[in-house]
Structure 1
Amino acid sequence: MANTVTLSFRIEGPAEKSGMFTFEELGITDDMDQDAIEKHIEKIFESWVWGNIAFSRVVRFEEE
């Protein structure tokens, strides 16, 4: 058997997950500039994604 790497992920529930949120729900305020908003959203997005998926990695090495 050859060396292999398998990457997979599964979204909990349906195969597709989406959500719509207001700036207020995300804690975005009027005094934040565009850069701050984008950084804030990126952090929220990462947390949201990691909270909604399960994944695994399998590495197989060829036996000698």
Structure 2
Amino acid sequence: MRIHRIGQEQSVVVRRFIVKDTVEERMRQLQARKQRMIAGALTNDEEFDLPELRSSKCFSPRSLY
């Protein structure tokens, strides 16, 4: 999907429509969890919970279904 072209000067607005109880919804939740983990690893603001990380299914493709 191409949203922003080289040389484009106008602002771009992206809207995501995610239908409830779909693979896309699960993928979005997974992405949000990974972003929180990365943010926690890069800053000292959040304690890194190793047991939660180990029990997380974020690396399993089967967790999407």
What TM-score do the two structures reach when normalised by structure 2?
A: 0.31
Higher relative contact order structure (alpha carbons within 8 Å, sequence separation ≥ 6)? 1
Bigger proportion of residues as strand: 1
Q: Provide the TM-score with structure 1 as the length reference.
A: 0.31
Structure number with larger C-alpha Rg: 1
Whichever structure has more helix as a proportion of its residues is 2
